[in-house]
Structures are given as C-alpha cells and as structure tokens.
C-alpha cells in the first residue's frame, strides 16, 4: 500500500468503481478528498461512450461530488481522436448516444448514412433491427467497423446489462468483419490518459472493477493495477483469468483507510 500511495497519478474507472447507475458508492467522497489532499493527478477514464464529460460532471455533482470537467475522458473522445488521426475529415454512420455524436462532431467527423468511411457503434438504448440492418449493409459496402469499447456487459441500477461488444456482435457475424475497439483494454486510451495527466506509467495506478478491460489494460500499459470488488468482478470469477491485479480491494475507500 505504501507503493500505491507513492503514485503520482491515478486512472480510475467509473461504473462499478465510483457509482452504480445513479448511486455513489460508499467511500468515494473520502477517496476523492484524499486525491486532492495528497495532490494526486487523476482522471476518470470510462468506457461508457454515452455521456459527454460535462454530463458526467453534472451526474457526479447531483450525487454530491464536485469534479472538474477536464477530469473525465471517455471512449467516445478516444474514438473520435482515433478516427480523426486515421482519416481527417472522414464520415461515419453512428449507433450511439449524445456523448459519441458530440465527440465526433468536435473532431470534425460528419454523420453519413449513405456512404460513410466508418460504422461506429457505442453504448445506447436506441438499438433496433433497422440500425443493425443499415450498419450491416454499409460495412458490406466497405465501411470500416469501429466499436467504442470492448465491454460485453455493464452494471446498472437494475443489474447487469448488454454493452458495446454485445451490440456490435450481430454486425460482425452478419458481415464476417471484425470490429476494431478503441476503448479499454486498447493501450491507445491508456496512453492518452497518461498524456493528459502528464505522468509516466510507472508512477501511475489503474483502478477498475473489470478484469477484461481495466486490469488487462493496466497490465499491458505497464501501469500498476488495483481491482475493486464493487462492480462486475468478484473473488470467484477472478480465477477465470490467466493474469491478476497487483492489489484486490473491497472498494476505493480501502486506499484511504489503509
């Protein structure tokens, strides 16, 4: 734990670590106060592409937590940055929410449902047969298939729900094309997080609740890994994976109390 407290930067997942749905998890306020008190650099790094950083800021504010807007980085922002670097001025057919559309717009990527360069799929509740069919036909015509994140499921107030990888699978299966996923565990998102904080990987810790995104992302990026048991992963299903986090904690509150 002394090694953890010596870290200069913290990349922290949100769903299952900071909150469940619209409920702040116990000990989170104390953890954020500790980050400020110890002058730690931190970034909330979320694979959920549905909300903008401003919306995430307001969401936490409604829960009683004041966080600066620039302390959030989403898979939507990472996806927009990736596409802009791959093909500046490109266009995309998008299945997603406002956070994804806004990020693409800000990166000068136009929405196109006729002959787009890319089909981009993110988290959404607006998912139907017509959107799947449209995406399938566009990919078959040559559009490249992009997923904002690799999560198969995600937490909610009502329990586990399908996430991006589950939504994009019908398009992959019907076209025979594999999607490229930009969010965690893709090191691209982790490197951007380190760049935003201005810290090196060896001076940084990744805190997450998922072995298949948060923890493997940290391991592959050379970042210290802390798994918390407030989200998807429990002590039993950790054993399914051939890798382990360095620390397993009940919640982020343990960082402060220990």
pLDDT band at 246 (very low <50, low <70, confident <90, very high): very high
Contacts of 90 (CB under 8 A, 6+ apart): 83, 84, 109, 110, 116, 117, 118
The mean pLDDT value for 233-246 works out to 93
Task: Give the chain's mean pLDDT.
Answer: 94
Contacts of 227 (CB under 8 A, 6+ apart): 208, 209, 211, 214, 215, 233, 238, 245, 247, 248, 249
Q: Residue 179 gets which letter from DSSP?
A: P
Q: If you average pLDDT over each of 4-13, 16-25, 195-204, 231-240, which comes out highest?
A: 195-204
As annotated, the active-site residues are 13, 15
The token duo for 136 is: 């399938």
pLDDT the model gives residue 34: 95
pLDDT the model gives residue 126: 84
CATH superfamily of domain region 2-47+184-257 = HAD superfamily/HAD-like (3.40.50.1000)
Q: Thinking of the domain 85-181, which architecture would CATH place it in?
A: 3-Layer(aba) Sandwich (3.40)
Does this model's pTM top 0.75? yes
Domain ranges of the chain: 2-47+184-257, 85-181
pLDDT the model gives residue 1: 60
Given a cut of 70, whether residue 238 has pLDDT beyond it is: yes
Q: What is the pLDDT of residues 13-23, one digit of tens each?
A: 999 999 988 88
Q: What is the pLDDT of residues 111-161, one digit of tens each?
A: 999 999 999 999 998 889 999 999 999 999 999 999 999 988 876 667 778
User: What percent of the chain clears pLDDT 70, i.e. is strictly above it?
Assistant: 98
The mean pLDDT value for 61-66 works out to 95
The mean pLDDT value for 175-203 works out to 95
**Picking from 36-45, 89-98, 158-167, which range would have the lowest pLDDT averaged per residue?**
158-167
pLDDT the model gives residue 2: 58
65 contacts 44 by C-beta, under 8 angstroms: no
Q: Same CATH fold, 85-181 and 2-47+184-257?
A: yes
Contacts of 13 (CB under 8 A, 6+ apart): 44, 45, 46, 47, 184, 206, 207, 208, 209, 210, 213, 214, 231
Phi, psi for 55 (deg, rounded to 5): -65, -40
228 contacts 207 by C-beta, under 8 angstroms: yes
- The three-point CA angle 91-213-29 to 5° equals 105
Given a cut of 80, whether residue 255 has pLDDT beyond it is: yes
């Amino acid at each position: 734990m002394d090694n953890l407290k010596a870290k200069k930067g913290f990349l922290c997942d949100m769903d299952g670590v900071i909150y469940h749905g619209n409920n702040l998890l116990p000990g989170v306020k104390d953890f954020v106060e500790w980050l400020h008190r110890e002058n730690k650099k931190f970034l909330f790094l979320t694979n959920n592409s549905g909300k903008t950083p401003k919306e995430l800021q307001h969401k936490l504010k409604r829960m009683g937590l004041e966080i600066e807007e620039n302390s959030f980085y989403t898979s939507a922002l990472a996806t927009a940055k990736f596409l802009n670097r791959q093909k500046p001025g490109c266009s995309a057919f998008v299945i997603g929410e406002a956070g994804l559309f806004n990020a693409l717009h800000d990166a000068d990527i136009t929405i196109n449902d006729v002959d787009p360069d890319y089909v981009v799929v993110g988290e959404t509740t607006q998912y139907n047969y017509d959107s799947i069919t449209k995406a399938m036909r566009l990919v078959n015509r040559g559009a490249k298939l992009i997923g904002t994140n690799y999560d198969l499921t995600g937490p909610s107030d009502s329990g586990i729900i399908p996430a991006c990888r589950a939504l994009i699978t019908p398009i992959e299966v019907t076209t025979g094309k594999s999607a490229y996923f930009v969010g965690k565990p893709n090191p691209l998102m982790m490197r951007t997080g380190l760049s935003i904080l201005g810290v090196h990987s060896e001076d940084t810790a990744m805190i997450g609740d998922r072995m298949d995104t948060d923890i493997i992302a940290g391991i592959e990026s050379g970042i210290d890994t802390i798994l918390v048991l407030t989200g998807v992963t429990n002590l039993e299903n950790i054993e399914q994976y051939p890798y382990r986090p360095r620390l397993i904690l009940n919640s982020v509150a343990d960082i402060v109390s220990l």
